[in-house]
A and B are shown apart, each in its own frame.
Chain A
Amino acid sequence: NAGVTQTPKFRVLKTGQSMTLLCAQDMNHEYMYWYRQDPGMGLRLIHYSVGEGTTAKGEVPDGYNVSRLKKQNFLLGLESAAPSQTSVYFCASSQGPGSYGYTFGSGTRLTVV
């Protein structure tokens, strides 16, 4: 079982460039999430989706956009990358809201220079 797959695994961007991170899940989960993890900061929620065609802001949404055009995919976009967005990005999915176990992907390590 693939679970949650994130692509790419690594990426280096120049300041001002744009990119899209792809998250795909094969568990037919309704809920999907994007987190970022910085050293000593734990995980912080960027955006999330409670179903196909829906998105909502999390704790740190500025500088990011998301789309959930298909139930199995959740895309995270950086319109104009900044060094402050250097981080490890994790996607997760769950069948229901927070009381259900989340399944996380293996992460995307992004460096903005």
Chain B
Amino acid sequence: LAKTTQPISMDSYEGQEVNITCSHNNIATNDYITWYQQFPSQGPRFIIQGYKTKVTNEVASLFIPADRKSSTLSLPRVSLSDTAVYYCLVVNLNSGYSTLTFGKGTMLLVSP
């Protein structure tokens, strides 16, 4: 399993763009990059997933460089409600029994 490294915490202010970078130097050819969000007292919620280049949805964008050794989750114009823990995971595409391994994530605190 590719190990991921991400900052333990980040601070931001309302209205700013937040970029959380995750390092996964040992990512394999068949691995996807997936991000989850977890609010206090709730289970994690799937945000976005990608393989290479850029993926965008209504919540966030995911930037993946050509070497795929890192990825950046971009949250545009954050609000107080974006305060949460964000997890970066690497998931094997072809493993019939693969499961998600969650690290400690990045605690994002958005202030007024």
List the interface of chain A (C-beta within 8 A of B): 4, 33, 35, 40-45, 48, 50, 56, 58-59, 90, 92, 97-99, 101-107
Contact = CB atoms under 8 A, between A and B. Distances in A.
Interface in B16-71: 32, 34, 36, 41-46, 49
Interface string B68-104: 0000000000000000000100011101111111111
Given A45-B99, A107-B41, A101 B104 contact: no
B98 A98 contact: yes
Given A35-B102, A45-B101, A99-B92, 15 more contacts: A40-B104, A45-B100, A50-B96, A50-B97, A90-B44, A97-B99, A98-B95, A98-B98, A98-B99, A98-B100, A102-B36, A102-B44, A103-B46, A104-B42, A107-B41
Nearest to A98: B98
B6 to A, nearest CB: 11
A18 to B, nearest CB: 24
Contacts of A105: 43
A33 B100 CA distance: 10
Contact of B98 (A43, A44, A59, A99): A99
10 shortest interchain CB distances as A-B pairs: A104-B43, A98-B98, A101-B46, A43-B102, A98-B91, A42-B102, A42-B104, A90-B43, A97-B98, A99-B91
